[in-house]
């Protein structure tokens, strides 16, 4: 029984045979190779060898599905996924298994693969690998001279993803790495090794992403957030050929990466993966400061001071606990001892509320701002989410709790200002204009209450919004002094689309029974 199975998904890959030949030349352990011919036969033919087997699909099933099929056939403790255009260092398989731990994902250090040069058949002019063109010297025919060697620079051992979850190299972090086994935040999806059990336990090639794309982010997040480690082994290496243009690009119609990126962002930014023991923010903090992620958070708490003091105190205590050391600015109509307080001696109303929000935004100096209302119990997971610029984000995982009896309802469509988080500069621009418009024309519901939630002509700006759901819900306490009315039955909604996902309960994860939650508040 082999110790390691190398899984190579391929479709119209002209260098598959060369990749397999190179692996056979460099393995030193009991290692097998399982190649997947996904929708096309191999050309040139892959080597006939006792360590090589292959799977053929007459119609393409996609890279992730192909890799999963190969993994199911593996009879080894470890599996390694690699692209069909790579070379490897001597004994890479033995070295990696010697250093491996069962809860790790391991990557060799990475070089760029110099696979070939173009050489003119007439004048012998030579150029570096790329798309096929006539000789620039004499116009003659160019043919490939296969070299298949690793370029000595750059040597990649540190990788990350940005706050849109796109892969990035990270040369600055490389300077912090010491020793032969070093941690990396992320990886390129071209080559990685894991136990077969862990491969399936973590579903490291989740086909819900689509055929192709985002696998480095997927493997990195699933490894780290499940309690494992992502390790680069500097004692060995692999080299990857990067293809970028014309006939030196994708070897089949590019399936696109937009679906994978959309699914990936929703999964990780909303902390939806059910096997995670850490939120994504934990990983960002572990490697922090991470370029593009070193974002300061501020909480803008606002109140009209008409709330029952017991409820107000309970919500303030919960908010302080949930946000940790992040700065809180409170804006009230009477002075309060909570956060950095700003008192605006105004009459309660919509314009006053908008002015309170604007005053808090002007006081804060953070990159992003979470709006927090005085009668909402915020769960810590609410503040794990990091928004993109140029869009408003609403946490729709919220239960409305009736104070008088502990009954609660929720829907899938609940965009509330109390769940709004966005870039501070963007919010500032919006609320300055909103206050100006309301002071000039008075408040009209046609302009919308929540930024970015409609496209009517009266809107304040043209920016859109997007929903997210925290791992655990927030609790919106409904009482007799709410500025907006409460609805407890579906028939109370004029537009029934706002009742989608209607649920009623007396207990939710993360909070327990609402009756017990309300003890001491009534």
| Alpha carbons 403 and 39: distance in angstroms, whole number | 61
Q: Each residue of 418-433: pLDDT tens digit?
A: 999 999 999 999 999 9
Q: Please count the other Cβ atoms lying within 10 Å of the Cβ belonging to residue 469.
A: 20
The CA distances from residue 237 to 8, 108, 271, 368, in Å, are 17, 5, 33, 40
Please tell me the predicted confidence (pLDDT) of residue 517: 61
Please tell me the predicted confidence (pLDDT) of residue 212: 83
Please tell me the predicted confidence (pLDDT) of residue 485: 67
Closest CA to 218 of 276, 170, 171, 174: 276
User: Among the listed ranges 99-103, 105-109, 256-260, 346-350, which one has the minimum average pLDDT value?
Assistant: 256-260
Please tell me the predicted confidence (pLDDT) of residue 482: 63
User: Among the listed ranges 132-141, 357-366, 374-383, 487-496, which one has the minimum average pLDDT value?
Assistant: 487-496
Q: Which residue has the higher pLDDT, 59 or 386?
A: 59
Over residues 34-47, the mean pLDDT reads 92
Examine residue 289 and say whether the peptide bond preceding it is cis (omega within 30 degrees of 0). yes
* Ordered strands of the 398-402 beta sheet: 376-377, 474-478, 398-402, 408-410, 503-505
Sorting pLDDT into bands at 50, 70 and 90, what band is 32?
Answer: very high
Under 8 Å between Cβ of 156 and 109: yes
Over residues 284-309, the mean pLDDT reads 90
For residue 322, the Cα-to-chain-centroid distance in whole angstroms is: 22
Q: What is the mean pLDDT of the chain?
A: 90
Q: Each residue of 219-228: pLDDT tens digit?
A: 999 999 999 9
Residue 416 has pLDDT above 80, yes or no: yes
Q: Each residue of 229-252: pLDDT tens digit?
A: 999 999 999 999 987 555 666 666
Q: In the chain, which segments carry CATH 3.90.550.10?
A: 4-287
- What stretch of H or E contains 159? strand 159-161
- Which CATH number applies to 298-517? 3.90.550
Please tell me the predicted confidence (pLDDT) of residue 247: 62
Identify the architecture of domain 4-287 in CATH. Answer: Alpha-Beta Complex (3.90)
Sorting pLDDT into bands at 50, 70 and 90, what band is 211?
Answer: confident
Q: Each residue of 457-489: pLDDT tens digit?
A: 888 888 989 998 898 899 999 877 666 667 777
Query: In sequence order, what DSSP letters do the residues of 3-18 get, joined into one string?
Result: SEEEEEEESS-TTHHH
Under 8 Å between Cβ of 399 and 508: yes
For residue 39, list its beta bridge partners. none
User: Cβ contacts of residue 191 below 8 Å, gap of 6+?
Assistant: 80, 81, 82, 83, 86, 107, 108, 110, 238, 240
The CA distances from residue 345 to 328, 334, 342, 423, 483, in Å, are 20, 7, 10, 28, 18
Over residues 364-390, the mean pLDDT reads 91
Please tell me the predicted confidence (pLDDT) of residue 522: 47
Please tell me the predicted confidence (pLDDT) of residue 503: 85
Over residues 304-318, the mean pLDDT reads 91
Residue 521 has pLDDT above 60, yes or no: no
For residue 109, list its beta bridge partners. 237
For 257-304, list the strands marked E by DSSP: 297-302
Residue 520 has pLDDT above 60, yes or no: no
Sorting pLDDT into bands at 50, 70 and 90, what band is 327?
Answer: very high
- In the three-class reduction of DSSP (H, G, I as helix; E, B as strand; rest coil), residue 105 is classed as strand
The structure tokens listed for 287 are 């490697």
Handedness of CA 498, 503, 504, 505 (dihedral sign): negative
Over residues 271-288, the mean pLDDT reads 93
- In the three-class reduction of DSSP (H, G, I as helix; E, B as strand; rest coil), residue 51 is classed as coil
Pairing of strands 126-128, 104-120: antiparallel
Over residues 378-400, the mean pLDDT reads 90
Over residues 387-406, the mean pLDDT reads 87
pTM over 0.85: no
Residue 351 has pLDDT above 70, yes or no: yes
Please tell me the predicted confidence (pLDDT) of residue 514: 62
User: Among the listed ranges 54-58, 121-125, 501-505, 511-515, which one has the minimum average pLDDT value?
Assistant: 511-515
């Amino acid at each position: 029984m082999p110790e390691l199975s190398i899984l190579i998904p391929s479709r119209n890959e002209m260098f598959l045979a060369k990749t397999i030949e190179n692996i056979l030349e460099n393995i030193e352990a009991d290692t097998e190779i399982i190649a997947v011919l996904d929708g096309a036969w191999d050309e040139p033919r892959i080597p006939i060898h006792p360590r090589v087997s292959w799977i053929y699909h007459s119609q393409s099933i996609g890279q992730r599905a192909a890799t999963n099929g190969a993994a199911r056939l593996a009879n080894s403790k470890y599996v390694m996924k690699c692209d069909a255009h790579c070379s490897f260092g001597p004994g890479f398989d033995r070295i990696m298994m010697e250093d491996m731990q069962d809860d790790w994902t391991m990557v060799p250090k990475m070089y760029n693969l110099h696979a070939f040069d173009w050489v003119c058949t007439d004048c012998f002019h030579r150029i570096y690998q790329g798309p096929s063109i006539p000789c620039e010297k004499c116009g003659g025919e160019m043919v490939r001279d296969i070299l298949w060697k690793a370029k000595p620079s750059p040597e990649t051992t540190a990788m990350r993803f940005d706050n849109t979850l796109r892969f990035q190299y990270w040369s600055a972090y490389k300077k912090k790495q010491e020793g032969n086994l070093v941690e990396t935040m992320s990886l390129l999806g071209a080559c990685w090794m894991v136990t077969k059990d862990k491969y399936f336990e973590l579903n490291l090639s989740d086909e819900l992403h689509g055929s192709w794309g985002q696998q480095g982010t997927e493997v990195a997040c699933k490894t780290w957030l499940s309690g494992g480690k992502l390790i680069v082994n500097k004692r060995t290496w692999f080299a990857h050929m990067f293809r970028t243009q014309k006939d030196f690009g994708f070897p089949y119609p590019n399936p696109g990466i937009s679906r994978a990126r959309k699914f990936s962002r929703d999964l990780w930014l909303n902390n939806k993966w059910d096997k995670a023991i850490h939120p994504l923010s934990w990983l960002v903090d572990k490697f922090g400061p991470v370029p593009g992620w070193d974002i300061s958070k501020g909480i803008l708490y606002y109140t009209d001071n008409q709330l029952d003091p017991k409820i107000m105190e309970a919500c303030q205590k919960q908010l302080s606990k949930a946000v940790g050391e992040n700065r809180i600015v409170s804006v009230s109509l009477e002075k309060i001892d909570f956060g950095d307080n700003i008192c605006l001696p105004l009459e309660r109303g919509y314009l006053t509320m908008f002015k309170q929000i604007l005053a808090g935004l002007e006081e804060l100096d953070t990159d992003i701002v979470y709006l927090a209302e005085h009668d909402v119990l915020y769960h810590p997971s609410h503040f794990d989410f990091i928004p993109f610029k140029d869009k408003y984000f609403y946490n729709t995982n919220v239960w409305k709790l009736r104070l008088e009896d502990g009954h609660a309802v929720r829907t899938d469509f609940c965009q509330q200002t109390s769940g709004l988080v966005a870039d501070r500069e963007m919010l500032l621009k919006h609320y300055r204009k909103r206050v100006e418009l309301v002071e000039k024309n008075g408040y009209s519901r046609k302009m919308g209450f929540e930024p970015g939630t409609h496209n009517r002509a009266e809107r304040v700006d043209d920016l859109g919004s997007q929903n997210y759901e925290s791992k655990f819900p927030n609790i919106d306490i409904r009482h007799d002094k709410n500025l907006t009315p409460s609805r407890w039955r579906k028939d109370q909604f004029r537009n029934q689309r706002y009742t989608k996902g209607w649920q009623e309960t007396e207990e939710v994860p993360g909070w327990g029974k609402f009756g017990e939650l309300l003890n001491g508040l009534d």
